[in-house]
Structure 1
């Protein structure tokens, strides 16, 4: 008789994701990107799959062992690679296409550690935790995932890994069998318990069976116990569907896993509560009729976000979308924010700048059949909105005159003046800018900015706090941002040169805001290595962590939290049991504000012709010059009022400057022609007189 237990496996995803899991998933999607920049533009998304949507059932039937087929590897010794321990995964071509997690595959990779994977990326030979692993294969089916090996001719028993194809199309099965494997790695040649198990992939239905055989001692009687990861994983370790039993619960009475690290305990000891799988014990995983899509790329503007996804197989009729400023995942009864999306992209408008948005998508396969929401959200940060230039006013002046230009911006911002449309020099700051004397029409550019001055927070060096050591332990520095700011740099200190690492910043929801690579200089605990971050952070709570092989100095004494500015407060570390420790990141520098607007051109126009008539009129009323035309000299009647006299030709070129002129100006060296006599008065005014040299 076949006993079947069904279980509806639609448990909801945890709302608060583990930081480390999210970090590893993100690293994969970010490797090809430059990710340290002023505004996080939302190009990052968590890789998605739908392993958690598979339904689960268990039964007790018959274990039908393979005796033929293709042998992938046979043990020739009882230890090391010759016992099939941590051997390179085997590539196996499937005789039919198999749909796993909404993606069709034509091949698999078989690990000696009791599981198979999908996709081009092979698992590491030492990967004994296939469900919780952050490795980048596209999915895994784990029948008994742990460090395993088999035996060679112990008690007449030898183990192998083999595959075979059973049945006829369209109902064939690919069977992968681990034959006579130990339940845990051992090199003993005096005692060996072995058992066999299979993964069966079924054509057309795409159902998965894990079938176990009972075990026995091939030699000796030393009992073995331990835990294995059993279940499914999608393209990331956030998407899992696994089983759990403690040592006090029978293997056959497992419950759904509560984390991707959940395991099933086994023991060969007679009477042990967990026991080993009995002969013919079977787990069956059935795919849903409707798969969720997979996020691809995203983008954002200051007031909109765009999310893109890849269609699963089979392709649904359309999609529903749910977005929020909270990372709390929707459930089946959550009302979508957008429905009946026919394509594989959506742009959501009328959003707030400098805000993190979380997006989920589900497939609508028709007739009320919906997939689950994507198990991992896509998150997109809208850039902050720099201030804008509201108005500009140019000016027109006579040759050698100084122009006063003006511009206005919104409250809380200020105006920067530049001498080029891009790059160039900052020539002034403020709502007005007065140029130097100009000989010709000149363009300037105004830009609005709200960037504050650079501030620093935190201890300056490890040496300044006291006892320190060079380590690479995984503890984070915690801080709070009260006002949106640009985190510019951080100082790190290292004892060994040329070690590679990254600095990661995550927000309070575990979303990775930036990853910045660095290579250590090995300069010691008193000489800083400045690492540029340039990461924009909205108000909120954050953590900063070190990853990679690089060791950095940290303090085991001397820290006194908080380290505070009004804008940024370093509140502590994740090493809460030792509050005097300070980890890795010193002298944080930042500026507040969102940045600078694009530059707008403002023109100072020099108009020689326009100055002639008005100048002559003004001169008649004040200072007079004669004779005009003149041959060698010009006389002015009130030299005591004049600070400087300048002669400019009609092209605007300055020909001559006379400081504190007397009543007679000697101009015999001028060529014949028309000139403008510019009189700069001591009271700050200016008079222009057209004169002719004959």
Structure 2
């Protein structure tokens, strides 16, 4: 097992308890106890003679190997772990790991669910971030890592994924080959196996504390082998960066950003961007002189994604690093006024227009925009959804929110067509883009089967002022779809309905009251009435009479907005909106 001690380990045996990698930023940590397995073949002799366990299943028996390894047959690897044990991470510039000597236990190997081990360090540093060097044999693993501090407190990191030693991303080193403890064969590979870098961000409060060690527990029950090979850290700045950044009070043009206050800080600085690229020390903040642990940001654009970082200003020119974790948010869309139109021609194929949305209730019903030229008479982009015989469709497409006024009538039009098989859909509106809010059904098309697109046209009159969304619900059954079908929509329009000049004059000469009403409507005017009709918001006649009535009983109508059409004996007519409460 103990074949030879390489010169590269001299730094571990000096009076210094750790080797500096980057005095300004990163340092390695010396694990003084806790390793339970030697997983690196080194020196001359068989792989099994210089190791105690395998990285993967003992049946396979593979281990890492040092570049100075020579097996029993005299063969040496073309690549391997550096004989010095010093690994410069390929994932983070300036970060290095110092592995323990290959001549003794150099890894914490955890096999079963809830297996754990404690690693103690030879120094007690203050860190803003801890980095673990680890890998997993025979599949990936999930770990829980507890960072212990000298004051007895700790910080726990759960659900930390450690990838299989072949093919994963975020590696510190790769292409180091392996040797078999079973056959003593050497496998040279330019890409695998791999050791990974797992970053653990220390909270701002804990950056003031000294780290004494860590405990690692394998929490996954898979038949994999979690192997930990070392730790390094980022030195904590004397001016501590904030953390726990949250975003609240989102509006189309503003947001409130909050964070955990840091003791001793005179003010904070904030950087916001639509880019995900993190700021560096020389980046100019977008907001400075913030004296509380929150900031209401204004002047934002609707429907835009932002990222925010915060740093502390400790005075005297001393500032912290930017927060390790950013806050990300997207401002909501702003509602629009009528007229509202959407013809989908400015929308990229495969997407949906900005500020529209979809709700897929049954699997498979995803909406998208594409060019439908040549289908059902369309000559440009449409929004569509495909249906199949795999399951009944139940999927919604919602427009942007539109500001509507109570008692005002609006004309709602759209083009529609099916393709390949008959389809079923309904249109409705409500105050949220979700199916449970679509309580105002405008029309239900139970069996659509057209050669060329048709146009739907309806009058809607909301009973309350607010922001409304128009919803299109395709609910074609699996049997009806016949294996495959498409439902298409185009030229969605919502405009304010207006009366003609003559109708306005007639309306002015006729009084309809009370409005709103719970039981009766009274009609008073200069002309003799010959009949009335009451229509709901979908245009359906719900009450009619050919009698000369001056008082109309509407008590049986459900609450909502209605249109009253009054016909006079001279052939003229007028239209009036009213609310049944």
Q: Which has the larger radius of gyration?
A: 1
Fold match, TM over 0.5? no
Relative contact order (alpha carbons < 8 A, sep ≥ 6): 1 or 2 greater?
A: 1
TM-score range, shorter chain: 0.3 to 0.5
